[in-house]
């Protein structure tokens, strides 16, 4: 297991982000942000995800009050035609989103904030994702699994929706919710190595 002298905190309840962090063997705590994610919805996707990640990191930092804690927060959205698609929440909205993504290219944006002792580093990453054309039956079957309801853009690439993705251009892990290459670079600025 990698050794870290600092307290590393993942400010996310996402099981996918935990799985990604677990691959490095570094010790960390999970302390999810509790507040509702808020940012100006009129922001461009790149600025929106950075603002949401910063909000989460600051909220956890304020709660902890530990100046040696290195907090990692992230947020992910899907953008198509300039419109941000968050979590659908309802089966009907999920079906609408998937129909819109069918046969088209969209972008997955993840924002990351690493914060320690009031110092922040922010990053936004975009990955282009192309869905093959989907049938109404495929969309209905996928929505019926319940999987898309709590996922940005109404799908989880690492699960059943992997059957829909024709190709990607960019960081695969960004689509899962945490751009690992960028995160590794950011953590090095705080003297944490994932190797």
Active site residues: 75
Block residue for tokens 């922010």: 122
Q: How far apart are CA 62 and CA 11, in angstroms?
A: 12
Strands (E) across 41-193 are located at 69-80, 83-85, 105-116, 119-131, 165-169
Q: How far apart are CA 65 and CA 109, in angstroms?
A: 29
Q: How far apart are CA 122 and CA 63, in angstroms?
A: 20
Q: Which residues partner with 85 through β-bridges?
A: 78
């Amino acid at each position: 297991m990698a050794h870290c002298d600092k307290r590393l905190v993942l400010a996310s309840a996402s099981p996918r982000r935990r799985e990604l962090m677990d691959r490095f063997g570094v010790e960390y705590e999970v302390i999810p942000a509790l507040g509702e994610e808020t940012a100006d919805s009129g922001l461009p996707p790149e600025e929106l995800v950075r603002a949401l990640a910063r909000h989460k990191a600051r909220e956890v930092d304020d709660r902890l009050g530990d100046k040696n804690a290195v907090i990692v927060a992230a947020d992910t959205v899907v953008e198509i035609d300039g419109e941000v698609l968050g979590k659908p929440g309802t089966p009907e909205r999920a079906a609408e989103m998937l129909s819109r993504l069918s046969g088209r290219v969209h972008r997955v944006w993840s924002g990351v904030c690493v914060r320690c002792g009031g110092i922040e580093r922010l990053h936004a990453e975009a990955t282009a994702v192309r869905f093959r054309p989907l049938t109404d039956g495929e969309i209905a079957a996928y929505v019926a699994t319940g999987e898309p309801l709590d996922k940005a853009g109404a799908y989880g690439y690492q699960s059943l929706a992997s059957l829909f993705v024709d190709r990607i251009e960019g960081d695969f892990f960004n689509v899962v919710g945490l751009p690992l290459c960028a995160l590794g670079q950011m953590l090095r600025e705080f003297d944490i190595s994932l190797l």
